[in-house]
Amino acid sequence: MKAKLETEVSKYMSYVLRHAPEAAGLTLDAEGWVSFDTLEKAVTSKYEVCRADIIEIVENNPKKRFTLVDNRIRANQGHSIDVDLALTPIEPPAALFHGTSRTNWPSIEHQGLQKMQRHHVHLSADVETAKIVAMRRKGEHIILRVDAARMFSEGHSFFVSDNGVWLAESVPVQYLSLD
Kindly state the greatest CA–CA separation across the chain.
51
**Comparison of 41 and 169: residue with beta carbon closer to ligand HQG:** 169
CA distance 167 to 179: 19
Chain residues that interact with ligand HQG, rule: CB under 6 A: 63, 65, 78, 100, 104, 107-108, 111, 113-114, 116-118, 122, 133, 165
**Comparison of 35 and 104: residue with beta carbon closer to ligand HQG:** 104
Contacts by residues 14-17 (CB-CB < 8 Å, ≥ 24 positions apart): 14/65, 14/75, 14/78, 16/42, 17/66, 17/73, 17/74, 17/75, 17/79
Burial group, residue 16, by CB count within 10 angstroms (0-12, 13-18, 19+): buried
DSSP state letter for 175: G
The nearest distance, CB 25 to ligand HQG, in angstroms, is 22
**Comparison of 78 and 92: residue with beta carbon closer to ligand HQG:** 78
The nearest distance, CB 174 to ligand HQG, in angstroms, is 14
**Comparison of 100 and 152: residue with beta carbon closer to ligand HQG:** 100
**Comparison of 49 and 176: residue with beta carbon closer to ligand HQG:** 176
Q: Within 10 A of 179 (CB to CB), how many other CB atoms are there?
A: 15
CA distance 173 to 110: 7
